[in-house]
Amino acid sequence: MKIIAPSFAILDHLDQQSLAVRIEYCGRICYKSEDRITQESALPFVAKMAEHGHNSVLEMGVVTLVVSAEEREINELFLCQPKYLHISREESRLLLTGSIRAFRELLLFYPSCAVVRSACACLNERHPYFFSTILPAGGLAAVPSITVRKVALEEVEQMPADLLAKHRHLAVKFIVNRAVTHEIVRHRPCQYLQESQRYCRYSEDKFGSEVTFIKPMFWEEGSEEYTIWQQAMQDTERHYLRLLETSTAQAARTVLPNSCKTEIIVYANLEQWRHIFKLRCAKAAEPSMREVMIPLHEEFKQRFAGIIK
């Protein structure tokens, strides 16, 4: 049995990577298969995710586009009631920020929409592996009256505060207990990927053949309460490892408690992070949540002082 403290890491280094590299890194968190990442593994991984429709993984790649179109073409897009997109409008110019999933689903359900076709044609030219299995008959061609340009991250970060809050996304990896993740996944709209107890077998060597638990902040180490908790976790690990001898991981996990360590990536725009901090740093918030959210809030305030307060 291993006991560790909770922690977090802002994954801004991924912002400098390609969409494929970013998505693979986040996707492998679920199965704890980061050891399989190589210089050539990203494209096959994301192509497989797209082919099998693993949408939650494809949500970890977000792009911003500038679209110029005629009034009727813009209205046609809004009639599609686009999901998962953040849209800002300035006359005939649209600023669209969305995940690969968002653009794929628009193409699947509204292939005749001119703005959808043009936006996806732009993305398909740069990232064909995301769209190869869902292209309409005859392929994708941009509409002459519509111009689409991908916006670089550096340009997004120069936007006014209201646009920056809406279109700048940032991912954070938390290492916390399951009680914390049960609460944090209630926030919308965010994207999540979490370590899967259904597939991870903690009896394997890469996990040290043991279960890892998050140290509870409620009791002092060595106190009677802490000793009771520690004994309960030892008993749980013993039962879990015994069940794995004859059962699948998804069956054995039914004995695992909230104290189990888990890794979760939360990906959201600054507007949503601001809302998360307002709720999860408040005095009434769950103490284990505040344990990680308060220091994370301080880091966000330093980076985005005009937006996060």
Q: Cβ–Cβ contacts within 10 Å for residue 269, how many?
A: 19
Cα separation of 95 and 63, whole Å? 11
DSSP-derived pairing of the beta strands 2-4 and 212-214: parallel
Cα separation of 269 and 190, whole Å? 8
Catalytic residues: 280
Q: Give the Cα-Cα-Cα angle 163, 164, 165 (nearest 5 degrees).
A: 90
